[in-house]
Amino acid sequence: MPFTPLHMGPGLLLRGSVRGGFSLMVFGWTQILMDLEPLYGILTDREQLHGWSHTWIGATLIALLATLTGKYLGAWGLRLLKLTQFLPITWGAALAGALLGGWSHILLDSIMHFDIQPLRPFSLENGLRQWISLPALHLFCLGAAALGAVVFFWRNGNPFRVGE
């Protein structure tokens, strides 16, 4: 699912389900960082788009980078969007958002893409490939987003209220 908002579905569900302790901004930033390698592969016409960044080890390393950079970028974005009620982003929330972002990315992409070897360098196998159908995977992501949004708004109210 390169460069699609579908990866955000599980993140919205997680954010809607927990109070604090998880940064959706850092989760989203991690999704972007994860797909820089496939973007490079597309631009350079590589046969394998999903390399080291789409392994459990690579995702964990990217999550650490996303934690360090996303805490500050996420806070800047929340201020820009005038959603300061979600500040500060703690280091714990940034780390949780980044790790869950990277690991969920691997899980979803391992089901979808043929060229992912999530256990590399220990194994070249991908036992998750086509574990569920592509339409079912997309439906899960969309359903998670919808449910997460409902739970989030139910627990937090509308953060986009005008005039407050």
How far is CA 9 from each of CA 79, 97, 116, 152, rounded to the nearest angstrom? 23, 13, 21, 12
State pLDDT tens for residues 39-71.
Answer: 999 899 988 888 899 999 999 999 999 999 999
- Rounded Cα–Cα distance for residues 88 and 141 (Å): 28
**pLDDT-based confidence at residue 164 (cuts at 50, 70, 90):** very low
**pLDDT-based confidence at residue 32 (cuts at 50, 70, 90):** very high
State pLDDT tens for residues 80-104.
Answer: 999 888 899 999 999 999 999 999 9
- Rounded Cα–Cα distance for residues 75 and 117 (Å): 34
pTM, two decimal places:
0.87
